[in-house]
Amino acid sequence: MQDLSSADSVSTLIEELGKEFGSAVDRTVIASYVGAAVRELTGSICPEALPEMACRLAGYRLTELTAEPRPGGPSRPTLATTTTYPKGGVR
């Protein structure tokens, strides 16, 4: 994967995830999830791993967002619940 030091690199991640989730969610939502993943992971992992891990994290959250709700299970997450975390860490 690519270095995330430029806006072009982040755009590439958005495009990659757009191929998978573009029919289910708007590009701005995908961009928000990618941005949140990059911000959350920056400084926590080695820079070389950041693109792949950000793509995986955003992809996981987008999968959860687009999944059909399970009967009796929790409601589907929203952008607010997946990008806003309680003080002290990730939910």
Show me where the domains of the chain are located: 7-67+74-83
Rg over alpha carbons for the chain, rounded to the nearest Å, is 13
Tokens describing residue 60: 């996981």
Spell 16-47 as b/e; 16+ CB within 10 A means b: bbbeebeeebeeebbbbbbbbbbebbeeeeee
Q: What is the pTM of this model?
A: 0.71
Residue 19 makes CB contacts below 8 A (sequence gap 6+) with none
Q: Is residue 64 within 8 Å of 32, Cβ to Cβ?
A: no
pLDDT digits (tens, 9 = 90+) for 55-88: 999 999 999 999 887 777 666 555 555 555 444 4
Token pair 């409601």 is found at: 75
Give the pLDDT confidence score for residue 90 in this predicted structure. 38
From 25-34, 43-52, 69-78, the region with the lowest mean pLDDT: 69-78
Q: Encoding tokens for residue 77?
A: 């997450």
